[in-house]
Amino acid sequence: MHSLRLCSLTLLASAAVALASDLKIDVTLPVECDRKTQKGDAIEVHYRGTLTNGDKFDASYDRGTPFGFQLGAGRVIKGWDEGLLDMCIGEKRTLTIPPELGYGNRGMGPIPAGSTLIFETELMGIKGVPKPESIVTKATSSSDESATETGTGTAEKVAEKVEEAAEVIGTVLADTDDAQEHNEL
């Protein structure tokens, strides 16, 4: 029975780790557009990066120049390659990036190893896509839908993972009940 409890705890811990590695995307200024960012786009982004304690470690705003890179090409941390997809010019997002999608267990300048990173981002441009003359923001109900679609349904994910773990534990318990009847061995 001890090994069964250990197995149950391991399954629950695995579910917690799976949740911890989820990227959180909060759309803080939803924008309407015809063309959103896609993998392979050359984009320019203004950003402010902080640690979970609020300490700023970098900001393109301080330099007055947005950061340019090719989206989805592995030239930036995975949290950016994933978190800046399907974004409109002028849109703002806050990305909460777990270590697995950031710098992992290695320190990087002022960023300690194992850090969760928070980036306030603003898409300034997509190469080859004309900048809109004016930014049209989405209605509030659309922003709620957008937030859910982009990964902020954490409570639902927790419930789903716990349900999966409970199902596996139930199966393991059912399988071990048969073994309990043969204690003479």
- Is there a catalytic annotation at residue 58? yes
The span from the CA of 148 to the CA of 25, in Å, is 9
The span from the CA of 162 to the CA of 154, in Å, is 12
Of the residues 103, 111, 118, 126, only one is catalytic, namely 103
Coil, helix or strand at residue 135: coil
Give the residue from 69, 63, 77, 78 showing the smallest Cα distance to 126.
Answer: 69
The span from the CA of 9 to the CA of 15, in Å, is 10
Of the residues 77, 111, 118, 126, only one is catalytic, namely 77
154's tokens: 């954490």
Coil, helix or strand at residue 54: coil
What is the per-residue DSSP string for 140-177?
Answer: HHHHHHHHHHTT--HHHHHHHHHHHHHHHHHHHHHHHH
Of the residues 25, 41, 43, 47, only one is catalytic, namely 47
Q: How far is CA 90 from CA 44, 46, 66, 87, 96, in A?
A: 11, 10, 12, 9, 19
Of the residues 57, 67, 135, 169, only one is catalytic, namely 57
Of the residues 81, 89, 111, 119, only one is catalytic, namely 119
Of the residues 58, 81, 97, 118, only one is catalytic, namely 58
- Is there a catalytic annotation at residue 119? yes
- Is there a catalytic annotation at residue 103? yes
- Is there a catalytic annotation at residue 69? no
Residues with catalytic annotation? 47, 57-58, 77, 103, 119
